[in-house]
């Protein structure tokens, strides 16, 4: 629709933005597919070599690889999850685009904050 | 002579299923059944049909929960829920009651020797569309969405210009031809979950037509078309569930068309051209 129509209909997002959301959703899904696989392998390894707090921290503290990998994981989640939740809110709860866009932004910030805080705690604290 | 028990939706969006008994024939389509009810049992039944030979798409209805062309659906294929709702396609109206309405249902004159065991059928109007009366739906929104998705051809040639030369075997023309046979019957639209969840979603037919025009090298409103089909009222709301492709009576693939639109709009957005 034209910008004028968009403004009239109170649409929060332009066609270009929505198209970008679509391909960022796909790109982040590819990143997550790889991350989840590595994460599962890591869990299997961790289960075998000890799950106590000390055992985990002994492996992650000071590990640059861990920091890099899980930061990437957190950022991919922060892209993928909010877009998905916004769509679900619109289709299943009947939310309007403005409301779902706002909630998505809030969820994205929460994931970044909590996720990076966790990575920091495991590696640098 | 056995009889078929058929439950037909009567009323508007509010209404109820009324059960009729119809003689079961050896070779009989669902349209034959509806026609029999209207001609011999209850003349107030409203329904649409035209060609009755599987060309026009006017007779599309919901049969045992599935959108089909009734003139091309043999009773033997769908009776007793043989071809009933196979997972996921929305059935927007409540299931029929077991008892028929005594005032309306009348067994056809040929009751002698009828054992009533010709099976049963449920016929309702197409889903996702407002009901005008009985089996007739209001298809205006279906066609309005087609127009909003820029489903019309616009060229730049005049009668003074030479013919456009489009090779049928060219990749773009092949893509357009794969979807060009759509006759706007509404079966795909009625089968789509996303249309049920998002009232403003353009739907498979409108987007399929837009895709054939995206691949028409003569058309001059491509940027406007891509803008019209992008977003959650357009191709991006499709979750690739594929009920449209599964049910299309002409074996078209709106799912593939929508995937093509997603690629085209993504490319345009990345180049700042959307």
The pLDDT value given to residue B114: 45
Compare B22 and A1 and report the one with higher pLDDT: B22
Q: What is the mean pLDDT of residues B215-235?
A: 96
Whole-Å CA distances, A31 to A75, A120, B185, B266: 10, 21, 41, 18
Is residue B104 over pLDDT 50? no
Would you call B250 helix, strand, or coil by DSSP? coil
Average pLDDT of the residues of chain B? 89
**A-chain residue closest to B262, CA distance:** A19
Q: What is the mean pLDDT of residues B176-196?
A: 97
- Cβ distance of A19 and B197 shorter than 8 Å: no
Interface of B with A (CB under 8 A): 194, 197-198, 226-228, 230-232, 234, 236-237, 262, 265-266, 268-270, 272, 274
Distance (Å) from the C-alpha of residue A78 to the closest C-alpha of chain B?
20
* Interface list for A 55-114 with B (CB within 8 A): 87, 90-92, 97
How far is the C-alpha of B40 from the C-alpha of B43, rounded, in Å? Answer: 7
Report DSSP state, residue B231.
Answer: S
Phi and psi angles of residue B29, each rounded to the nearest 5 degrees, phi first:
-100, 165
Distance (Å) from the C-alpha of residue B226 to the closest C-alpha of chain A?
9
Task: Tally C-beta pairs within 8 A across A and B.
Answer: 50
Which of A23, A90, A92 is opposite residue B232, by nearest beta carbon?
Answer: A90
Which of B196, B197, B236 to mutate: most A Cβ within 10 Å?
B236
Structure-token pair, residue B262: 């997603």
Structure-token pair, residue B181: 């046979």
A18 touches chain B (CB under 8 A): yes
Q: What is the mean pLDDT of residues B174-199?
A: 97
The pLDDT value given to residue B229: 97
- Cβ distance of A18 and B236 shorter than 8 Å: yes
Burial of A65 (0-12, 13-18, 19+ CB in 10 A): exposed
The pLDDT value given to residue A49: 84
Would you call B36 helix, strand, or coil by DSSP? helix
* Residue B80 contacts residue B119 (beta carbons within 8 Å): yes
Chain A CB contacts of B266 under 8 Å are 19, 22-23
pLDDT-based confidence at B87, cuts 50/70/90?
Answer: very low
The pLDDT value given to residue B93: 53
Chain A CB contacts of B194 under 8 Å are 91
- Cβ distance of A18 and B270 shorter than 8 Å: no
- Cβ distance of B230 and A18 shorter than 8 Å: yes
Burial of B274 (0-12, 13-18, 19+ CB in 10 A): buried
CA angle, B185 as apex, B51 and B247 as ends, to 5°?
110
What percent of chain A is modeled with pLDDT above 90? 74
**B-chain residue closest to A24, CA distance:** B266
- Cβ distance of A1 and B228 shorter than 8 Å: yes
């Amino acid at each position: 629709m034209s910008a004028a129509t968009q403004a009239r209909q109170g649409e929060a997002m332009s066609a270009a933005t929505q198209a970008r959301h679509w391909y960022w959703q796909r790109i982040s899904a590819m990143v997550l597919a790889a991350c989840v696989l590595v994460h599962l392998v890591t869990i299997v390894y961790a289960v075998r070599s000890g799950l106590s707090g000390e055992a985990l921290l002994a492996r992650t503290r000071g590990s640059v690889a861990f920091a890099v990998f899980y930061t990437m994981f957190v950022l991919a989640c922060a892209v993928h999850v909010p877009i998905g939740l916004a769509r679900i809110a619109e289709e299943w709860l009947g939310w309007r685009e403005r409301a779902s866009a706002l909630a998505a932004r809030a969820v994205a910030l929460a994931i970044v904050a909590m996720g990076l805080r966790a990575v920091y705690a495991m590696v640098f604290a | 002579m056995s009889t078929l028990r058929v439950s037909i939706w009567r009323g508007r969006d509010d209404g109820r299923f009324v059960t009729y008994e119809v003689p079961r024939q050896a070779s009989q389509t669902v349209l034959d059944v509806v026609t029999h009810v209207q001609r011999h049992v209850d003349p107030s039944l409203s329904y649409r049909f035209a060609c009755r030979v599987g060309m026009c798409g006017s007779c599309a209805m919901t049969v045992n929960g599935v959108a089909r062309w009734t003139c091309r659906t043999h009773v033997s294929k769908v009776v007793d829920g043989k071809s009933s709702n196979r997972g996921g396609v929305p059935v927007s109206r409540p299931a029929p009651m077991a008892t028929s309405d005594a005032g309306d249902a009348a067994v056809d004159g040929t009751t002698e020797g009828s054992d009533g065991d010709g099976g049963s059928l449920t016929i309702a109007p197409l889903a996702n569309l407002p009901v005008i009366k009985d089996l007739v739906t209001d298809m205006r929104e279906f066609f309005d969405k087609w127009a909003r998705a820029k489903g019309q051809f616009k060229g730049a040639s005049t009668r003074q210009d030479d013919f456009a030369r489009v090779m049928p075997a060219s990749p773009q023309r092949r893509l357009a031809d794969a979807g060009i046979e759509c006759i706007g019957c509404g079966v795909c639209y009625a089968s789509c979950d996303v249309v049920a969840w998002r009232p403003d979603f353009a739907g498979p037919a409108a987007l399929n037509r837009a895709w054939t025009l995206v691949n028409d090298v003569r058309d001059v409103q491509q940027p406007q078309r891509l803008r019209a089909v992008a977003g959650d009222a357009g191709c991006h709301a499709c979750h690739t569930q594929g009920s449209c492709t599964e049910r299309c009576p002409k074996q078209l693939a709106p799912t593939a068309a929508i995937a093509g639109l997603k690629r085209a709009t993504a490319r345009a957005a990345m180049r700042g051209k959307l």
